[in-house]
Amino acid sequence: MNNTWGDMAQYDPVTWNWVIAVYLFMAGLSAGSILIGIGLRWYSKEKAMESAILKAAAIISPLAISLGLACLVFDLTKPFDFWLILVNYNFSSVMSIGVLALLLYSPIGIAYSLIVLRDELAKWKLGFLVPVAEALMPMRKAIEVVLFVLAIGVGAYTGFLISAMNAYPLLNTAVLPALFLVSGLSAGAAANAIGALLMFNTHCHDTNLSKMHGLELPVMLSEIMFLFMLFCALYFKGGAAAAALASLTTGVWASVFWVGVVGIGFAIPLLTMLMPSQTRHSKGVMIAVACCSLTGVLALRHFVIYAGQSYIS
C-alpha cells in the first residue's frame, strides 16, 4: 500500500452493502405477505375460517420483519445504541418516519398473528398465549385495518428510504417506492404459497391459493412496467442519470439483473404459464416458481443497492 495515497478501500462508492439489501428484501417480503393474506381474507366469503394463506402470512410477516430489523441493527456502527433512534424523531427525515412506522407495525403484526394462529398455538406448545389471542379477538377488525395501512407504508418506505439519496441518479427516482411495494407483493405471495403448501399442507387447487396464483401475472407485469419507467426516466434525464444505464450492460450487476431479475424472476414464472394447467398447478412446480420469484426480488434489491451506488451524479 502506498501510504501517500492511502488505502484504496476508502474510495469504494458502496456505503450500503448486502446487509441493507437483505433488510430491504425482508421488509418488503413482510409487508407483501400480510397485505396478500389480509386482502384475500377480505375478498373471501369464508371470513370465519383462517385460510392456510393467512396462517402462512401470520408466520412469515413478523419473522421476516424481525430478521430484517436484526440485519439493520447489526449493520449500525454502534448496534447496542439502536434504541436511541426509537426515542429521537425528526419528522423531516424519511428514515425517522420509517422507524416510527416499523415501531407500530412490528407489535401490531405480532398481535394479529396471535389472533390468526390461535388454534395452532396449543399444538406448538404455546398454549399460554391463547388467552392473549382471545382477548385480542374483539379488536380484530381494527387491528386488521391498521396493520394493512401500516404494511403499505412499510412496503413503500423501503423505496422512499433509498430514493432520498440525491447523489445517486439510479436511486433518486420517484418510481422506486412503487417498484419496491409491488415487488414486495410478489415476494409475499411467493412466500405465502410455500408456507401454505409445506407448513399447512393445503391442496394445490385450494380456492385462496388459486386466487393468489391469479395475482402473479398482473403483479409481475406491474414490476416490469415500473422497471421500464425507471430506466426511461434515467434515459430522458440525460447526463449522469443516462450514464447510470451502463449498469444494465457492464459489470457483475448487469449479470445479476439479466440473470437473477429477468431470467429467474420473470422469465421462468412466465414460461411456466405455458404449461398444461394440471402440471402448472402441481405442488412441485408451484414451489419452484415461488422460489424463482423470491430469488428475482432478492436479486432486484441487490442490483438497485449496488448498481445504484456505483454511479454518482
* Closest to 34 in 3D by CA, of 165, 151, 130, 170: 151
The answer to whether 169 and 52 have CB atoms below 8 angstroms apart is: no
The answer to whether 27 and 34 have CB atoms below 8 angstroms apart is: no
Q: What is the pLDDT of residues 10-22, one digit of tens each?
A: 445 667 788 889 9
The answer to whether 156 and 182 have CB atoms below 8 angstroms apart is: no
- Please tell me which residue, 61 or 215, carries the higher pLDDT value: 61
Confidence of residue 278 (pLDDT cuts 50, 70, 90): confident
Q: Which pTM does this prediction carry? A: 0.88
Residues 6+ apart with CB under 8 A from 297: 25, 28, 29, 183, 184, 186, 187, 190, 265
State the average pLDDT over residues 194-217: 85
61 CB-side CA count, 13 A: 36
Sign of the Cα torsion 198, 204, 210, 213 reads positive
State the average pLDDT over residues 202-214: 82
Give backbone dihedrals phi and psi of 284, rounded to 5 degrees, phi first.
-60, -45
Confidence of residue 303 (pLDDT cuts 50, 70, 90): very high
Q: What is the pLDDT of residues 174-192, one digit of tens each?
A: 899 999 999 999 999 999 9
